[in-house]
């Protein structure tokens, strides 16, 4: 039985989309079709589908806002599942802190503005991060020195291996710069996260949110499709400290700065370009394809390695 028939037969009330164009959904406007696409409105729908995939040996991919991925031009086989449950609950508060549970499907920027309205501080820098909370936890989203994982005390996870929900305390999430345990085990699907936020005045938090928005608009090419920073900031080295004393105090040096210094700002392959505004961003000028993104990534890595003896690592994730 083909997958379309199999899924339609077992889940007759689900509105699956077959051969659904992922380029439409992706922030970068790149990617082929999903064989089966579904937006789960509840945890139960997601659990039923993921358990079914496991039983039937069907490949599955979780997609958030598709703002940190390079989706293969040939598309994705099996099920592509978007988690669209998106509740935010204030579960407790004391004099210093507000405690929230936020579902994986909530838009990250919306989460930041909702808690800001209630005086929840600490997430302001994440205001312009596109996509949803599940994706932000997966890569441990960062802004300047802030890591989203630092504000989280536990994560609700569905483990597809045994079809069980577990609560992972922060230590088990293995959060570090651009890292989390969820990148190591694809069977771990993030359902929600629990935040402990510093209590502050709503006006003060909202002011910081506005400042973060203004900073992003000034530095990032927000008018073109992209997947944000393509590369992680690499660790600083003795050579880099000598060449760029202005960054000598930093543990990590901005990847965009090195790419610029290597002469690759504005470099173009097909319709993919290293942004003229922020050289760690690649932008899609129209008909960009994943294969061009990959080639341009390799080119930039080679030039930066030759010039500065630095190995750049991708911050984006490949989905194929």
Ligand X SMILES: Cc1cc2nc3c(=O)[nH]c(=O)nc-3n(C[C@H](O)[C@H](O)[C@H](O)COP(=O)(O)OP(=O)(O)OC[C@H]3O[C@@H](n4cnc5c(N)ncnc54)[C@H](O)[C@@H]3O)c2cc1C
Cβ 309 to ligand X shortest distance, Å: 26
- Beta carbon nearer to ligand X, 220 or 233: 220
Work out whether the CA dihedral 129, 134, 137, 139 comes out positive or negative.
Answer: negative
What separation in angstroms does the CA of 301 have from each of 191, 235, 256, 292? 35, 15, 12, 14
How far apart are alpha carbons 279 and 316 in whole angstroms? 15
Contact letters (x/-) for ligand X, 271-310, by CB under 6 A?
----------------------------------------
Cβ 221 to ligand X shortest distance, Å: 8
Q: Does 64 engage in binding with ligand X (CB under 6 A)? A: yes
Q: Pinpoint the alpha helices (H) of 126-276.
A: 133-138, 170-173, 202-219, 238-243, 255-261
Q: Pinpoint the alpha helices (H) of 130-185.
A: 133-138, 170-173
On whether the CB atoms of residues 155 and 180 are closer than 8 A, the answer is: no
How far apart are alpha carbons 98 and 119 in whole angstroms? 9
According to CB under 6 A, which residues from 112 to 151 bind ligand X? 129-132, 134-136, 138-139, 141-143
Cβ 258 to ligand X shortest distance, Å: 18
- Please choose, out of 72-80, 218-226, 235-243, 246-254, the segment that lies near ligand X by the rule CB under 6 A: 218-226
- Beta carbon nearer to ligand X, 141 or 290: 141
Q: Does 165 engage in binding with ligand X (CB under 6 A)? A: no
**Residues engaged in binding ligand X (CB under 6 A):** 27, 61-69, 83, 104, 108, 129-132, 134-136, 138-139, 141-143, 182, 189-190, 220, 222, 226-228, 317
């Amino acid at each position: 039985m083909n997958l379309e028939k199999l899924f339609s037969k077992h889940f007759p009330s689900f509105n699956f989309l077959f051969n659904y164009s992922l380029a439409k959904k992706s922030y970068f406007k790149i990617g082929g079709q999903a064989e089966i696409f579904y937006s789960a409105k509840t945890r139960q729908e997601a659990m039923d589908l993921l358990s079914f995939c496991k039983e039937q040996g069907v490949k599955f991919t979780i997609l958030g806002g598709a703002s940190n991925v390079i989706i293969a031009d040939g598309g994705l086989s099996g099920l592509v599942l978007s988690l669209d449950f998106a509740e935010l609950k204030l579960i407790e508060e004391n004099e210093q802190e507000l405690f929230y549970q936020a579902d994986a499907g909530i838009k990250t920027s919306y989460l930041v503005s909702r808690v800001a309205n209630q005086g929840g501080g600490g997430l302001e820098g994440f205001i312009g991060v596109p996509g949803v909370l599940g994706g932000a936890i997966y890569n441990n989203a960062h802004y300047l020195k802030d890591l989203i994982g630092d504000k989280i005390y536990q994560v609700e996870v569905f483990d597809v291996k045994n079809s069980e929900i577990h609560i992972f305390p922060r230590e088990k999430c293995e959060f570090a710069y651009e890292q989390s345990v969820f990148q190591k085990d694809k069977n771990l699907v993030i359902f929600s996260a629990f935040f402990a936020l510093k209590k502050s005045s709503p006006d003060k938090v909202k002011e910081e949110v506005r400042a973060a928005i203004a900073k992003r608009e000034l530095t990032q090419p927000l008018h073109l499709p992209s997947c944000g920073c393509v590369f992680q900031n690499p660790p600083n080295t003795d050579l880099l400290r000598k060449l760029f004393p202005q960054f000598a105090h930093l543990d990590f040096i901005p990847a965009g700065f090195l790419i610029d210094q290597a002469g690759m700002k504005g470099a173009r392959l097909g319709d993919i370009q290293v942004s003229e505004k922020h050289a760690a961003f690649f932008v899609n000028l129209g008909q960009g394809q994943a294969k061009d993104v990959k080639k341009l990534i390799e080119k930039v890595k080679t030039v930066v390695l030759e010039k500065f003896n630095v190995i750049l690592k991708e911050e984006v994730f490949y989905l194929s």
